[in-house]
Amino acid sequence: MYWQREFRGKADQIRLVRAFAAHLLADFPGLDDVLLVLDELAVNAVRHTRSGADGGRFTVEISMDVAGVIVYVTDQGGSGEPRLQDILDLAEGGRGLRTVEALTATWSWTGDARGRTIRATFPRAALCAGGREIG
């Protein structure tokens, strides 16, 4: 299953991103983690890219299959690149991608100053080192 929706680049849209995902993924076991990660990625798009400028937009895509969920947030780019802050520099911010790192199986990004997509994956069940399902 696959869904896509575009949002205005305004802070009041973040709750709509969460509602969009919560409705679609209501039975997904890792829903709380997905919602928190989407919140962080949408906030980053609005705060740190041209998506947050007047008339800006960002897109959320959600893909779900038997293996789990993948979310994508595509922004309109900006001068910086998504990166993990050094753990010593987190006093006043920079926790967003650390949260994404902690709650996802994998995350990555592609793009450039004209636009970027951040991808985050959530398996349906956690696997132990031997490949057996534990969740």
- For residue 130, the model assigns a pLDDT of 43
CATH architecture of 2-123: 2-Layer Sandwich (3.30)
How far is C-alpha 90 from the chain's CA centre? 19
In the chain, where the domains are located: 2-123
Spell out the SS3 assignment of 69-107: EEEEEEECCCCCCCCCCCHHHCCCCCCHHHHHHHHCCEE
What pLDDT digit, counting tens, does each position of 105-121 carry?
999 999 999 999 999 99
| pTM confidence score | 0.85
